[in-house]
A and B are shown apart, each in its own frame.
Chain A
Amino acid sequence: MGISIALAGNPNSGKTTLFNVLTGARQHVGNYPGVTVEKKQGQCVSGTDEFHVVDLPGTYSLSAYSLEEVVARDFIVKEQPAMVVNIVDASNLERNLYLTLQFMEMGTPVCIALNMMDVAKKRGIGIDTEKLSALLGVPVVPMVARTGKGRDDLLKTVADHAKIRTKSLKISYGRDIDQTLDEMVEKISSEKFLTEKYLPRWVALKYLENDVQILEMGKEANSQMDAWLSSKARKLAHHLDTTLDTHPEGMIADQRYGFITSIFKQGVMTCTRDKNRMETSDKIDKIVTHRFLGPMLMVAVLMGLYQFTFAYSAVPVEWCENVFAWLGGRVDSLFSDGLLKSLVISGIIDGVGGVLGFVPLIMFMFLGISFLEDSGYLARMAFMLDRVFRLFGLHGASVMAFIVSGGIAGGCAVPGVMAARTLKSPKERLATLLTVPFMNCGAKLPVYALLVAAFFSENQARVMLVITLISWLGALLVAKLLRSTLIQGPATPFVMELPPYRLPTFKGLAIHTWERTWQYIKKAGTVILGISIILWAMMTFPRLDHSQMGDPVQAGTRQAAAQTAGEAHVDQASAALRHSIAGRMGTALEPVTRLAGFDWQTNIALVGGFAAKEVVVSTLGTAYSLGDVDPEDAGSLSERLQSSPGWGPITAFSLILFTIFYSPCFVAVVCIAKEAGSWKWGAFSMAFNTLLALGVSILFFQTATWIMA
């Protein structure tokens, strides 16, 4: 089994880099049980020792306020790792040690990996590691994770110290708190209250800090003890409030920093340069977050990211499409016409192709975003845009997801939904996930192009601009609506670090991108294949039997006299589509959708659009008996619509509105469900968006027809 290590540390301290240096390619990603927090683990060997490394979420503290922090401390308690390797940024020692102290207070063995020694040295910071180690009572290993320097030292130190149980750290919190703590500890120890898991002093501290998780646990374990401890804590809080105008929670944090300051006073750190000197990062920030230059640069970066994701991935996407088209062609010539062939081509090959077709997109998107994230620019973007997005209950970092989804027309909601991972605040993140599908993804464009060409050929550009504005406005307003109803609650504090600019390492980017992409293939892929087969079945069954199909020639004579057999075949396809489950749904819904101006043909097309939005165009072609319509070149369909009764600019715009807002395609729905951690949100986005779209379209159609009349 080897020695188990938990890797902990602040965000931006180089934790992921160290994890990669330790485990190399031998790692795998999953989730902590029951939550959406990512759990990475891996193996490594040094000399004769074997290690099992778990990467804990990056946190600044161990409170009960965020899921990540609860996950980190629960892991320590439940899994009892032989050693917590706490990676500490040497150039930012004071704040990083705050987390270290909290691990030490839990009584778990800690080893400090003092990272970024090179950066610290460059800034004129010298650290006496031996003194630091002696004062804290834990081993300290200096290293540079980026280059792998210090890796073997670290593993050797861990192996040497893993078996030794150290004493837990006891910080003095001032006379008032210490006195109460001592009383509480005595009673907790004698009653064995929660002691099978936690140290008595730690439990007492958490009662003073009003820690919801521990309070709940305590109530369940022994309500009498819980009441006694709570009253003790209340009494102390009242006392501190009246005498010092403070509260235990604040005072405990202040004293922890006080403890760190006292260590620093003993000469752990020497600084040979002026503290207020402008670092390179600060100089860059003067330009990058400048009042005018900043936003301009940001627009350029967003355009660049967009270009990178969609233009450069076009070639591999085309390869993928060609491979699947070739496969389809092979099957077409190998199998005889019939159900099996239709299943293999339309259900399986198109389904798998649909899954893998997104892969190059997702890879490029994650590569671009990882670069922005690792370099530190993403935090600046959030900083600049926060004021705007906060108005709608979102977060500055939401912008990334919106842009990738099609905030600049032509994106894709699938990588967009996944881009929301960069958001650390849970409520803002969920609201982002649920509203990005309103953006104009590349698959909606053929639908717009068809309708705009047919009915608004004089102002094409202007109508496209209106469409873009409506989708942005709609998304932001819905976000606001969700944040003031279903996902209510105050904004998550924006207390955020602006990390120094760093050049990302290629290895880090590659590992990151591959991990995310593989997760998409593994998790979403299987579900998507299943749904694509179901959709195929819905558009195929029940089939017309022969009597209903009739003789092609007969069907032909019913129509204009000069019809060819080919056209009759096309009529038959239309009849078969109408007969299928999807067709019946379309027909059944007609009374409702009539209010928005949609006939049954449009309804079927919209059902088909759930598979992928561009399918709307081809299905509309089949339903209007035009045979196969190429979404990229729908001239004939556009003429057909122009001459169809019931179609006009109002109906067309109503359909455009519906397309903007209705249910995301199922690939996006699956991704939303996976990212939000519950199928509930996937189902919600389907139902809510469709109802919203219907409402908006009906409102528009009715008002517009009324005005025109």
Chain B
Amino acid sequence: MPYIPLRQMQVNQAGIITGIKARGELGTRLRDMGLVPGKEIRIQGKAPLYDPVSLRIMGFTLTLRNNEADHILVEVT
């Protein structure tokens, strides 16, 4: 499967993070919350206006804005 940005994932789709493109504060924040390569994620839901998105990682739920999700590459499983 090809790598796609997290933004393009559908609800209930799962995948493995392959890369984080963001640097600086955003890059650090994403990693602090466990969004690092190799972690498995599953899209949990989207807000009523389809942004932000909530996802499941390491057993907890995390929310991200779509423009932040753009920086995360995922291999869909």
Interface of A toward B, CB cutoff 8 Å: 60-61, 63, 65, 91-92, 94-95, 98, 123, 247, 249-250, 253-254, 257, 261, 275-276, 281-282, 285-286, 289-292, 294-295, 379, 383-384, 386-388, 390, 491, 493-500
Contacts and interface: CB of A to CB of B under 8 A. Distances in A.
A86 B31 CA distance: 20
Contacts of A257: 31, 34, 36, 38-39
Given A253-B32, A383-B47, A387-B52, A275 B27 contact: no
B60 to A, nearest CB: 5
Given A65-B28, A98-B32, A291-B48, A390 B65 contact: yes
Of the candidates A275, A292, A498, the one having the most CB atoms from chain B within 10 angstroms of its own CB is: A498
A275 B51 CA distance: 25
Contact of A92 (B14, B35, B51, B59): B59
13 contacts: A61-B32, A92-B58, A95-B33, A254-B31, A257-B31, A285-B44, A285-B54, A286-B45, A294-B48, A387-B47, A387-B51, A495-B30, A495-B68
Nearest to A254: B36
Contacts of A247: 23
B33 A498 contact: no
Nearest to B12: A276
B43 to A, nearest CB: 12
A257 B17 CA distance: 13
Contacts of A92: 58-60
Contacts, number: 120
Nearest to A99: B32
B61 interface: yes
B20 interface: yes
B31 A275 contact: no
A63 B45 contact: no
State the main secondary structure of chain B at its contact with A: mixed
Q: Lowest 4 CB-CB distances: which A-B pairs, in order?
A: A253-B31, A61-B32, A387-B49, A498-B61
A253 B30 CA distance: 10
A493 B34 contact: no
B63 A250 contact: no
A250 B26 CA distance: 11
Given A249-B28, A383-B52, 8 more contacts: A92-B60, A95-B60, A250-B23, A281-B61, A387-B50, A390-B65, A498-B60, A500-B61
B23 A493 contact: no
Contacts of B25: 65, 493
Nearest to A491: B65
B16 interface: no
A674 B50 CA distance: 37
B16 to A, nearest CB: 13
A64 to B, nearest CB: 9
B1 to A, nearest CB: 19
B10 to A, nearest CB: 15
Nearest to A286: B45
A94 B59 contact: yes
B29 A495 contact: yes
A123 B32 CA distance: 24
A250 B20 contact: yes
A384 B50 CA distance: 9
B29 A65 contact: yes
Given A285-B45, A383-B52, A383-B54, A250 B27 contact: yes
B32 A60 contact: yes
Of the candidates B20, B26, B35, the one having the most CB atoms from chain A within 10 angstroms of its own CB is: B26
A386 B52 contact: yes
B36 to A, nearest CB: 5
A471 B56 CA distance: 39
B9 interface: no
A610 B45 CA distance: 47
A289 B50 CA distance: 11
A533 to B, nearest CB: 46
B68 to A, nearest CB: 6
A243 to B, nearest CB: 15
A260 to B, nearest CB: 9
Given A65-B25, A498-B62, A98 B34 contact: yes
Contact of B26 (A290, A390, A493): A493
A95 B35 CA distance: 10
A62 to B, nearest CB: 9
Contacts of A387: 47, 49-52
B9 to A, nearest CB: 15
Nearest to A379: B63
A289 B27 contact: no
B4 interface: no
B3 to A, nearest CB: 13
A65 B60 CA distance: 23
Contacts of B68: 493-495
A213 to B, nearest CB: 13
A249 B48 contact: no
Contacts of B61: 281-282, 285, 497-498, 500
B42 interface: yes
A132 to B, nearest CB: 16
Contacts of A497: 33, 60-63
A253 B47 contact: no
